[in-house]
Amino acid sequence: MIRQHKCIALFSGGLDSILAVKHMERLGYQVKAVFFETPFFEAESALQAAKANEIDLQVIDVLPQYLQVLENPRYGYGKNMNPCVDCHGFMFRMAAELLTETGADFLISGEVLGQRPMSQRKDAMNAVAKLSGVKDLLVRPLCQQFLADTLPIREGWVDKAEMLDIQGRGRQRQLDMAREFGVTEFQNPAGGCKLTDIKYSRKLKDLLLHKQLNDDTIKYLKYGRHFRLNEHTKLIVGRDKAENEHLSLLTTDEIVVKTVDFHGPLGIICKTGTVTETELKTAAGIVLRYNNNVDNEAEVAWGENFSLNNIIKVEKYTPAEVQELMIK
């Protein structure tokens, strides 16, 4: 039976979001799946899962809007820099803006009551709904039996008896449903959000504290060792050849630091304004610290975006000196 009302699904690529879409489609609803992308949670895995399970997925970049959530989450962060409650509310708010454009009537997600300690308690789910500004248009198909009726149910667009009663951290019912729907490929739970990673979060927190969080600095967070030279300046040093290559591709107008006569790590200086001689010497000394071919001192070339026309000779920093400046 084809249902009259359409819905938008928040899609992560995880098993629960796949099952929510599949369940509603089996009931006859037309479902539009969306993934809101930032550098903190990228779409590649979600796209793979959507393709494998024949789900049409729209990916939308929301970084500028999301940075406002990340900088000042009303409900705070999780164990690291993950503002889970605020993040979910933000995603629903973004999805609601698509209702008119897509002709959809309500929103769904794959949330399961009690599955995640921060964002999927009943009080947290209520907070998410409140933050979204569209609380009365939300349906959670996998656990709606436990939740208050929203407009789609009160108006008869959705039959609550057809919604499910899954709760808790166990996964057996979802795995049984996956076999029933033929779902074989999906993303691991919470596996796609870099904000839950402690090392990534420390580097991100440093940018927030020094008011340097923007597109140009975020792109480097996945790569290299990070050093705080002073309040205005940081340095990224590649760990290996692959990271050097990634850093090279990302560089636009940053200062690049590279040993002249020896192969070794690449350094990228991130700063607004002119780099001082002291900052250059510090950066060069750190870069030499990670070059095993250099004994004590060497010449280091530097310049903007690989125009390495400037040469300075510096001593190699000691492990203790480097540790003092490393963001860790």
Element at 258 (helix H, strand E): strand 255-259
Find, among 101, 125, 146, 130, the residue nearest to 6 by Cα.
101
* DSSP-assigned letter for residue 195: G
122 band by pLDDT with thresholds 50, 70 and 90 = low
Q: What is the pLDDT of residues 296-307, one digit of tens each?
A: 999 999 999 888
Rounded to an integer, the average pLDDT of 208-226 is: 94
**If pLDDT is split at 50, 70 and 90, which confidence band does 115 have?**
low
In sequence order, the 6+-apart residues with CB closer than 8 A to the CB of 135 are: 129, 150
For residues 284 and 325, give the distance between their C-alpha atoms in angstroms, rounded to a whole number.
13
Closest CA relative to residue 293, chosen from 321, 318, 256, 260: 260
The secondary element (H helix, E strand) that includes residue 38 is none
Query: 33 pLDDT exceeds 60?
Result: yes
| Residue 195 structure tokens | 């904000």
What is the distance between the alpha carbons of residues 259 and 261, in angstroms, rounded to a whole number? 6
Identify the residue whose tokens are 């590279």. 258
Lowest mean pLDDT among 60-64, 119-123, 234-238: 119-123
Q: Taking CA 202 as the corner, what is the angle to CA 198 and CA 205, rounded to the nearest 5 degrees? A: 130
For 33-42, 87-96, 115-124, which range has the lowest pLDDT when averaged over its residues?
115-124
Domain boundaries, the chain: 6-193, 197-325
Could you tell me which CATH number the domain at 6-193 has? 3.40.50.620
What is the reported pLDDT for 170? 86
Phi (first) and psi of residue 118, to 5 degrees: -95, -45
Q: pLDDT over 70 for what percent of the chain?
A: 96
C-alpha torsion sign, points 183, 189, 190, 193: negative
Phi/psi zone of residue 82: left (φ > 0), alpha (ψ -120 to 50 degrees), beta? Answer: beta
pLDDT digits (tens, 9 = 90+) for 67-111: 999 999 999 998 999 998 899 999 999 999 999 999 999 999 999
Taking residues 24-45, report their average pLDDT. Answer: 97
Report the C-alpha gap between 10 and 247 in whole angstroms.
32
Output the average pLDDT for the chain: 92
Least confident segment among 58-62, 195-199, 265-269, 304-308 = 304-308
Quote the tokens at residue 146.
């436990």
Token pair of 155 as six digits:
């108006």
Which residue is it, tokens 């310049």? 303
- CA-CA distance, 37 to 94, in Å (whole number)? 11
Q: In 3-state terms, the chain is what percent helix, strand and coil (to 5)?
A: 40, 20, 40
pLDDT at 120 over 80: no
**Percent of the chain topping pLDDT 90:** 81
Sequence-separated (6 or more) residues with CB below 8 Å from residue 10: 17, 34, 36, 91, 92, 95, 107, 108, 109, 110
pLDDT of 39-53, one tens digit each? Answer: 999 999 999 999 999
